[in-house]
Amino acid sequence: MYTTLKLATTKDIATITLDRAEKRNAISTAMIEELLAALDAVEKSSARVVVITGSGNAFCSGMDLELLSAIAQQSPEQNLADSRRMAGMFRRIWSFPRILIAAVNGPAIAGGTGIATMCDFTLAVPEAKFGYTEVKIGFLPAIVSVFLTRQIGEKQARDLLLTGRIFDAAEAKSLGLVNDVVPADQLVATTQRLAESLLAASPTSLARTKKLLVATAAAQVDADLERAIAENAGIRATADFREGLASFLEKRKPVWRGEE
């Protein structure tokens, strides 16, 4: 049924494994659609806790290179639809009614950082790396900024978004993006224990608590997302985006023009 991920359910715990190991589990259009479909399937099932992890040595390396290449050929309308699709995925993860645990088994970069940190709980191995690297290729971290600023505050978010720097799991924990750093050989067991502790709580209480948390912020998040979607699509028409994308794909240093 799925080509970019695996979905398995054991009793009350569902596990979604991003499964493009040869691409370091990079985000493709198909993966976005399948992740949304998997979450829909989980919501209709008896599973009360969902674990998201990656296959191989990476959690998710961000947007797929082939998808990046296609973006350069898209119309403004296609770019807007693409931005809305990405925003919809992050919005769905952020507001998902069941408990989500990210078990970050390796690098989670750009959109991968977004998937990992929008879950209710994020556990990461010490070797995991994070980063919102969009500015380094002339892109815009517009959609993730909506959630990141709420999570860690504006000053810290400015640091990460404006520098585009890579940071490790320990710093991610100190910023509040990761709940705990766990040795790789203990990640599965620690995730299981966390899931079981959550299952011991009242299902009604957990569901209503999540609903309350989302409802409190939803109106502002949705308004901010609309602005972010427009900005995400708009920057794709700039010279710097075209140069950043070309230099990234050609593995060379960009020559910025600074034109809108």
Residues 71-101 have pLDDT tens digits of 878 899 999 999 999 999 999 999 999 999 9
Residues 105-138 have pLDDT tens digits of 999 999 999 999 999 999 999 999 999 999 999 9
With vertex at residue 149, the alpha carbon angle to CA 147 and CA 155, rounded to the nearest 5 degrees, is 165
Q: What is the mean pLDDT of residues 43-67?
A: 94
CATH pick for 5-185 out of 3.40.1080.10, 3.40.50.300, 3.60.21.10, 3.90.226.10: 3.90.226.10
DSSP letter string over 146-178? HHHHHHH-HHHHHHHHHH---EEHHHHHHHTS-
Q: Is the pLDDT of residue 30 over 70?
A: yes
CB neighbourhood size of 28 (10 A): 19
Residues constituting the chain:
260
| pLDDT given for residue 67 in this prediction | 81
Domain boundaries along the sequence of the chain = 5-185
Residues pairing with 13 in the sheet: 10, 49
Q: Is the pLDDT of residue 35 over 70?
A: yes
Tell me the catalytic residues: 134
Q: How far is CA 198 from CA 99, 111, 180, 211, 239, in A?
A: 8, 27, 16, 16, 49
Residues 145-201 have pLDDT tens digits of 999 999 999 999 999 999 999 999 999 999 999 999 999 999 999 999 999 999 999
| pLDDT given for residue 71 in this prediction | 81
| pLDDT given for residue 198 in this prediction | 98
Q: Is the pLDDT of residue 17 over 80?
A: yes
pLDDT tier, 260 (very low <50, low <70, confident <90, very high otherwise)? low
- DSSP SS3 for 27: strand
| pLDDT given for residue 66 in this prediction | 79
- DSSP SS3 for 63: strand
Structure tokens at 206: 């957990």
Burial label, 51 (beta-carbon count in 10 A; 0-12, 13-18, 19+): buried
Q: Is the pLDDT of residue 69 over 80?
A: no
Q: What is the mean pLDDT of residues 36-65?
A: 96
| pLDDT given for residue 43 in this prediction | 97
Q: Is the pLDDT of residue 227 over 70?
A: yes
Quote the mean pLDDT of the chain: 95
- Give the separation between CA 115 and CA 128, rounded to whole angstroms: 14
Q: What is the pTM of this model?
A: 0.95
